């Protein structure tokens, strides 16, 4: 029997239905019709691809990038044509022959990474799903990404491969897709290892768990599950990997280096920067090694005492940053953010103008030693909370989706101008400002 899900999924879904259906979040499960067409559609993916083409034409460096495959061959030689050829017209139906002509092949696939940075519609629509996931399940410490798979390919270009993060695969259509999954243990028994399988893997498909993905479906793919998709007609899917970085990786890459950098000494008068003594040639390098080891132990003991405070500082920064960016990973070269910032006209921030947050972004806060700073879209605009301009009631109203009419309040107007530079605010000028701009 089909199940009807609320949109967005509620707390009961994440704490009950979801773990129950996925054996405690460890096995694949297809949630039928959980994503409404109003939240995401194949045309939104193609609009993201058009944004990449637009950035290429303007020679703008962006994070999102596209790859073209014919069969299992990555065709980087076709990418320049895909980015510069005259555009298709007529939506999805026109895109398929456009790509077929470009690739000189009946079947093709187009893969787009960091789609959320070039498709505001998908950042918002699937961001609604991501927010409910964060509220109901938890926050992935690396954020989430959107990876689009568009084409009529006979099989995923990566072959049968392993996923390393928990993910949802959202199917947008317009046609259906077959999807096959194998637990790691089963796949290793069938193939003798963990390497991807390319070419003819029909025999393996017969041993797999099969799912038929239709528009609006979302397949939960737990980490370490091998999978592949096949289809006969064109469709679009968007994978949403949840990047849960290992704690050891966060410590090694960010927290411990920051601690050690702070222990490196402050200027030539700091005892830690005292030059080493002339090494006694009779004692040899062993004495040098002993002294280095001793100093190293002292530094590491001090560092160990500081780990808790540094970890708290890092966690609070990461937490506020991710939530302010709607849960999407923060990357350089976010085209949609930059275009939204460019569209925000600070001179039109005047009494009577209206502001609203661009979904799914939120204003979050970060407590400092003397002042609480606000963040929006992963950036600190240098605005203090509860200062002369921005207060908690205004932040709460923005985060609830309200549209605010700006009062005649100089400090607040200045704070709004700074927030607008993050690309997280939408501004509607007062009518007189609009007329002045058109004059």
- The C-alpha R_g of the chain, in whole angstroms, comes to 26
Q: What is the pLDDT averaged over residues 184-199?
A: 96
Q: What is the pLDDT of residues 232-246, one digit of tens each?
A: 999 999 999 999 999
Residues 416 and 90: their CA atoms lie apart, in Å, by: 39
Mean pLDDT confidence for 5-17: 97
Sign of CA dihedral 223, 228, 232, 234: positive
Task: Determine the Cα–Cα distance for residues 343 and 426; give it in Å rounded to an integer.
Answer: 9
Average pLDDT rounded to a whole number, residues 300-312: 92
pLDDT band for position 231 (cuts 50, 70, 90):
very high
Over residues 159-187, mean pLDDT? 97
The residue among 300 and 361 whose pLDDT is bigger is 361
Tally Cβ neighbours within 10 Å of residue 333.
Answer: 16
Q: What is the signed CA dihedral for 283, 287, 289, 292, rounded to 10 degrees?
A: -150
Per the DSSP assignment, residues forming a β-bridge with 426 are 356
- What is the tens place of the pLDDT at every residue in 395-416? 999 999 999 999 999 999 999 9
Q: Using alpha carbons, list the distances in angstroms from residue 399 to 48, 132, 151, 279, 334.
A: 26, 15, 37, 63, 22
Q: What's the pTM?
A: 0.92
Summarize pLDDT for 363-392 with one digit per residue, the tens: 999 998 789 999 999 999 999 998 778 999
List Cβ neighbours of 404 (8 Å cut-off, separation of 6 or more): 354, 355, 356, 394, 397, 398
Look at residue 1 in the predicted model and tell me its pLDDT: 47
């Amino acid at each position: 029997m089909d199940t009807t899900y609320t949109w967005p999924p509620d707390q009961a879904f994440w704490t009950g239905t979801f773990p129950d259906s996925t054996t405690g979040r460890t096995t694949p499960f297809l949630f039928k019709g959980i994503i409404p067409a109003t939240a995401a559609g194949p045309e939104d993916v193609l609009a993201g691809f058009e944004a990449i083409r637009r950035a290429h034409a303007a020679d703008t460096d962006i994070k999102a990038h596209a790859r073209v495959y014919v069969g299992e061959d990555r065709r980087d030689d076709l990418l320049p044509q895909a980015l510069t050829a005259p555009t298709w017209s007529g939506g999805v139906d026109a895109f398929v022959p456009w790509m077929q002509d470009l690739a000189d092949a009946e079947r093709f696939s187009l893969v787009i990474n960091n789609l959320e940075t070039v498709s505001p519609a998908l950042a918002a629509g699937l961001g609604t799903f991501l927010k409910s996931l964060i509220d109901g399940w938890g926050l992935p410490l690396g954020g989430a990404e959107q990876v689009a798979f568009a084409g009529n390919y006979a099989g995923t270009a990566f072959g049968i491969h392993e996923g390393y993060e928990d993910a949802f695969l959202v199917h947008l259509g317009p046609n259906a897709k077959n999807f096959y999954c194998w637990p790691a243990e089963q796949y290793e028994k069938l193939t003798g290892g963990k390497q991807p399988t390319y070419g003819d893997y029909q025999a393996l498909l017969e041993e797999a768990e099969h799912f038929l993905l239709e528009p609006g479906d979302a397949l939960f793919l737990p980490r370490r599950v091998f999978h592949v998709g096949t289809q006969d007609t064109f469709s679009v899917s968007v994978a949403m990997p949840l990047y849960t970085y290992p704690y050891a990786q966060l410590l090694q890459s960010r927290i411990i280096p920051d601690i050690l950098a702070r222990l490196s000494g402050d200027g030539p008068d700091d005892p830690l920067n005292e030059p080493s003594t002339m090494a006694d040639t009779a004692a040899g390098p062993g004495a040098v090694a002993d002294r280095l080891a001793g100093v190293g132990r002292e530094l590491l003991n001090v560092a160990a005492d500081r780990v808790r405070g540094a970890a708290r500082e890092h966690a609070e920064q990461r937490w506020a940053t991710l939530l302010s960016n709607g849960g999407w990973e923060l990357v350089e070269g976010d085209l949609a953010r930059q275009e939204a910032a460019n569209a925000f006209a600070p001179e039109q921030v005047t009494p009577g103008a209206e502001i609203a947050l661009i979904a799914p972004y939120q204003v979050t806060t970060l407590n400092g030693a003397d002042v609480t700073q606000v963040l929006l879209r992963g950036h600190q605009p240098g605005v203090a909370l509860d200062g002369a301009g921005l207060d908690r009631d205004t932040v709460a109203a923005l985060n609830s989706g309200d549209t605010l009419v700006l009062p005649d309040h100089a400090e607040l107007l200045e704070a709004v101008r700074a927030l607008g530079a993050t690309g997280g605010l939408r501004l509607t000028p007062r009518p007189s400002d609009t007329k002045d701009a058109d004059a």
